[in-house]
Structure 1
Amino acid sequence: MLLPLSDLSMAVLPKWFTGVLEGFAPLFSARIWPQVQLLVVGALLSPGKRTVTAALRVLGLADDPAFGTFHRLLNRARWSSLQASRVLFGLLLTAFVPSGPLVLGLDDTIERRTGAKISAKGIYRDPVRSSRGHFVKASGLRWLSLMLLTPIPWAHRVWALPFLTALVPSQRYNEERGHRHKTLTDWARQMLRVVQRWCPGRQLIVVADSAYAVISWLSDLQQGHPITVITRLRLDAALYEPAPERQPGQKGRTRLKGNRLPSIASLVNDPETRWESMRVHRWYGETNREVELVSQTAVWYHAGLPPLPIRWVLVRDPKGKFSTQALLCTDLLLSPAQILEHFVQRWQLEVTFEEVRAHLGVETQRQWTDLAIARTTPALLGLFSLVTLMAHERWQGHDVWVRRAAWYDKTLPTFVDALAEVRRALWKVPTFRMSAPGREMVQVPLDFIERLADALCYAA
């Protein structure tokens, strides 16, 4: 028989679970905090859709008349998603990056949603289904996510851990409500400045794709306390020498740039270009990948925009498997090797987006009120980071458990193993009360129970 809702409280949840969540307790009232924890447990244990009803069913609360309490947590209760992001960010820093520079990944993704009541949706290019020669549009919500790029000790690789996600409404949505439309880079600037206030004194290095190679946006981030940005650069970008110093008695306005430099594209096939070989530890699924690069400093300038000093890095593959590409960095002191190593980590953002869709039910939720929509997807993305923190707590005192098979000699855990570890431990929580002796008792082989538990823990 299941325990009633009032008995499923913080007291029966394990310390490794409550220890991670206790930092969020001040954000909620004492009355709804137990329901918050149960909703997190239900979201972790639910296979398939991540709806509130699915979370209640997996907890055995399908017949509980207080089900409305859980829906009100998302569509009505008073709590701040921004403050929850700040708490999560602090937990990640304490666990993985207590000191030193912070490498952040910045990217947007489309949550495919339809329906007349989803007011913030728009029509966007679908980055998953589109390619260079095939453009696919999708109706949905656009989210901009900041993730912490950090090595995970027990995974022996860098993961992208989401901690701050914002809904970027469509232009139509803002026009209908008389709001000023904020572009993707406007949202990105605001989010980065917020994070900078959360961790004063820490250097921020942001890795982003070519959508953020915008001179005005990059220049804004160099004002005050500079934020380093690494992104792609067009091969035909207009690059110049630094402006010469103003001479005494010189007439006219101060020059913004020096002489025009040869385009980066002209260096690709120039026999006088001196390429330097470098071995990258991790390169898009490969290890110890050898590449060739050349780098210089320059001023990137376009008429009507402020001049931007950058360091550019041109990368080519001696094997010819990938096309030559250029990167830019707003910190002139970073070495080309550091710039390339940071940028390669950007691929982990795509991995995280795929993992949250496959294993945490992003795009399966069915909330339609504005407040619930604005809270649910960031919460599911944040759940990826919470699972990582919980597995980190578990595996500090236990051996790392990896799912293996005769045909797959897996040695290092992935996110699905971390999620399975958390689920396996939560299934052991004593939230069930045994029936009277002799009633409804059958003998089940232990091997069958273990295989059933394994299937549930790894269910998507």
Structure 2
Amino acid sequence: MLHHPSVAVGDAVPQILRQWLQALRTCFTAPSWEHVLVLVMGALLAPGKRTVSSCLRMTGRAAAANFASYHQILNRACWSPRAVARRLLGLVVERLVPDGPIVIGMDDTIERRWRRRISARGIYRDPVRSSHGHFVKASGLRWLSFMVLTPVPWTSLVKALPVLTLLAPSERSDHQRGRRHKLLTDWARQGALQLCRWLPGRRIIFVGDSSFAVHELAHAITARATLISRLRLDASLFAPPPKRTTRTLGRPAQKGPALPKLKTLLSNPATTWARIIVSAWYGHGDGKTLEITSDTALWYRPGTPVMPIRWVLVRDPDGKSPPQAFFSTDITLEPADVIALFVRRWQIEVTFAETRVHLGVETQRQWSDKAIARTTPALLGLYSLVSLWACDLLTSTTTPYAAAWYRKTSLTFSDAIGAVRLAIWIGDINQHSPPNRERQNIPPERILRMAQALCFAT
């Protein structure tokens, strides 16, 4: 048998991981790049908390004397998270959306943190524990994430792949630092315009919930992209202004007469409804039948110009779901397309949940401003990288963990990260017959780390 000599300060980074991350190489200096490879390898393999120390242990570097250098990658090293985000966006678009419109969902999430030294921390409504009649507060950081909503080859589902994540400091934090507080929609406007500059010449569709149904945001991005969001049932909608003639006096009118509120159309027997089947409606994997009605109008709010929109009113013929309204700033979109694009954003919550379960978001323990601003976006970006790498390891018909009592109809992110971890654990150990007759065995140190990963998995 051929035994590989052990590495003094830890196991070597597998060549396959170096190949996967090669596209990000130019974003880091040569010394930092080797430390980045180790941290990424540890973040993928470590169970439980994703602290720097746990990453070093899982890569066999618990006795490394230069452990502080790995911490400095996050809190001190000179590299730009925006440059990494731009390169990640290019990878996702090139691999999964080479042509056609790019659908980007935007949503915020609360990373629960309680340490007083975290300056950007605030008190927010906990979206998970709260309900319509019960309000629960949570202490933590507010993140706004932009995710590409697209199908991936190894699953039949649409995945939300984070490409740009921004920290939105609390109002208390901005006040203490003497800075003007930015609302969530201000960060959304800046992030959306940044993505438009990174994707010149491509058609972009931004999808957000009711938090982003704001006139200022719609006007800011309409010149370069389309916005799809929810619409209030009592929104102020108007008809186009009448055409001017030679006898018309005064300034040109911005809007015509007011249109009936959308909520009045629900009880109006003259409203014409059309039935459609939405395949990805929440809780209905086999499709959901809905009744819709749609038209174009001018959306108006005092103090801002009118916005031409296509509104879509949706009701459940079974009466199990309350009626909802959506709008698109692109009035040429078909009503069914507006609904189909909006329901993609429901995968954003799945991504937030899976990053907490599989990538340890909320378990990191940094408290310096720079480390905090880098760590969570890095973990969310790692979700997208794993989804891309799984395209090389899995297919839609692959069943890596099939059992006689459980047959999966569609692969999930747990299958993707499992396949990536297996490729990293195996590393340079051949899974098939090597070209020579010498056998290659897994080094004892790596077997020990595999056992530790199993023993301390929870």
| 1:289 alignment partner AA | K
| 1:4 alignment partner AA | A
Q: Which of the numbers 211, 221, 246 marks the counterpart of 1:248?
A: 246
* Partner residue in 2 for 1:181: 181
- Report matched runs for 1:253-264 at 5 Å: 253-264=251-262
* Partner residue in 2 for 1:64: 64
| 1:291 alignment partner AA | L
Deviation at 1:458, TM superposition (A): 12
Q: Does 1:291 align with 2:290?
A: yes
Greater mean deviation of Cα atoms: 315-324 or 360-369: 315-324
* Partner residue in 1 for 2:107: 107
User: C-alpha distance in 2, partners of 1:33/1:6?
Assistant: 16
* Partner residue in 1 for 2:12: 8
| Kept in 2: contact 1:402–1:412 (CA 8 A) | no
| 2:228 alignment partner AA | I
Partner deviation per Cα, 1:165-211 (whole Å, 9 max, x = no partner): 00000111111112121111111111111111111010110110000
| Kept in 1: contact 2:316–2:323 (CA 8 A) | yes
Q: How many residues align?
A: 435
Deviation at 1:54, TM superposition (A): 0.5
User: C-alpha distance in 1, partners of 2:159/2:345?
Assistant: 10
* Partner residue in 2 for 1:438: none
Partner deviation per Cα, 1:312-333 (whole Å, 9 max, x = no partner): 0011111122111000111000
* Partner residue in 1 for 2:368: 369
| Kept in 1: contact 2:174–2:180 (CA 8 A) | yes
Deviation at 1:94, TM superposition (A): 1.3
Deviation at 1:31, TM superposition (A): 1.4
User: C-alpha distance in 2, partners of 1:409/1:285?
Assistant: 20
User: C-alpha distance in 1, partners of 2:66/2:122?
Assistant: 35
- Report matched runs for 1:95-134 at 5 Å: 95-134=95-134
Deviation at 1:2, TM superposition (A): 4.1
User: C-alpha distance in 1, partners of 2:108/2:329?
Assistant: 21
- Report matched runs for 1:271-286 at 5 Å: 271-286=269-284
* Partner residue in 1 for 2:411: 413
Deviation at 1:249, TM superposition (A): 4.3
> Structure 2: any 5+ residue segments left out of the alignment?
430-442
| Kept in 1: contact 2:117–2:367 (CA 8 A) | yes
| Kept in 1: contact 2:9–2:60 (CA 8 A) | no
| 1:277 alignment partner AA | R
> What secondary structure is seen at the aligned counterpart in 1 of 2:166?
strand
- Report matched runs for 1:182-261 at 5 Å: 182-223=182-223, 225=224, 227-261=225-259
| 1:75 alignment partner AA | N
Deviation at 1:215, TM superposition (A): 1.4
| 1:358 alignment partner AA | V
* Partner residue in 2 for 1:393: 392
CA change 1:68–1:260 in 2 (3 A) is same
Partner deviation per Cα, 1:347-383 (whole Å, 9 max, x = no partner): 0000000000111100000000000000000001001
| 1:8 alignment partner AA | A
| Kept in 2: contact 1:402–1:411 (CA 8 A) | no
| Kept in 2: contact 1:419–1:457 (CA 8 A) | no
Partner deviation per Cα, 1:246-281 (whole Å, 9 max, x = no partner): 322422222111011111001112211111010112
| Kept in 2: contact 1:278–1:293 (CA 8 A) | yes
* Partner residue in 2 for 1:269: 267
> What secondary structure is seen at the aligned counterpart in 1 of 2:280?
strand
> What secondary structure is seen at the aligned counterpart in 2 of 1:219?
helix
* Percent of aligned positions that are identical: 51
User: C-alpha distance in 1, partners of 2:391/2:283?
Assistant: 24
| Kept in 2: contact 1:121–1:139 (CA 8 A) | yes
User: C-alpha distance in 1, partners of 2:454/2:26?
Assistant: 33
User: C-alpha distance in 2, partners of 1:176/1:379?
Assistant: 27
User: C-alpha distance in 1, partners of 2:219/2:455?
Assistant: 47
Deviation at 1:28, TM superposition (A): 0.9
Q: Compare relative contact order (CA 8 Å, sep 6+) and give the higher one, 1 or 2.
A: 2
* Partner residue in 2 for 1:445: none
Query: RMSD between aligned alpha carbons?
Result: 2.2
User: C-alpha distance in 1, partners of 2:39/2:222?
Assistant: 41
| Kept in 1: contact 2:11–2:60 (CA 8 A) | no
